[in-house]
């Protein structure tokens, strides 16, 4: 069964404390791995797409990486405005459908 699992469910960090969010996937064929950010009361907002193992993408304090089994979202020296729920999704090679994880709620305390 195609599945995407995110961990931890919630993560509390002090401002400036770097960490990583994990997205592990077991899918029959991965076309791409997507990361989205969701603020309270809003819909998810696209961050990155990764297509092959070893690929990395960066945006401000965020860097996403991909291996053959998982993706990491590294956050360096986070600020309170980085607080949000981060969602990952794997796009299936067979039908382009997205399999979503349940998200990681990130809280950055000042």
Partner 1 sequence: ETGVTQTPRHLVMGMTNKKSLKCEQHLGHNAMYWYKQSAKKPLELMFVYNFKEQTENNSVPSRFSPECPNSSHLFLHLHTLQPEDSALYLCASSPYGQFATNEKLFFGSGTQLSVL
Q: Which residues bind to partner 1, rule: CB under 8 A?
A: 4, 9, 31-32, 34, 36, 41-46, 49, 87, 89, 91, 96-103
Q: How far is the CB of 4 from partner 1 (least distance, A)?
A: 7
* Residue (23 or 108) nearer to partner 1, CB: 23
| Rounded to 5°, angle at Cα 93 from 39 and 96 | 50
Q: Catalogue the E-assigned strands of 8-69.
A: 10-14, 19-26, 30-38, 45-50, 56-59, 62-66
* Residue (40 or 110) nearer to partner 1, CB: 40
Which single residue is written with the structure tokens 């607080």? 83
* Residue (15 or 81) nearer to partner 1, CB: 81
Alpha carbon distance 82, 41 (integer Å): 15
Q: How far is the CB of 104 from partner 1 (least distance, A)?
A: 11
């Amino acid at each position: 069964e195609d599945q995407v699992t995110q961990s931890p469910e919630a993560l509390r960090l002090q401002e400036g404390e770097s960490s990583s969010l994990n997205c592990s996937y077991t899918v029959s064929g991965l076309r791409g791995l997507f990361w989205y950010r969701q603020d309270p009361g809003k819909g998810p907002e696209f961050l990155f797409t990764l297509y092959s193992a070893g690929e990395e993408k960066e945006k401000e304090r965020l860097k996403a990486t991909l291996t053959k089994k998982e993706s990491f979202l590294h956050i360096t020296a986070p600020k309170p405005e980085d607080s949000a729920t981060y969602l990952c999704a794997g796009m299936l090679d067979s039908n382009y459908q997205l399999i979503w994880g349940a998200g990681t709620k990130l809280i950055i305390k000042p």
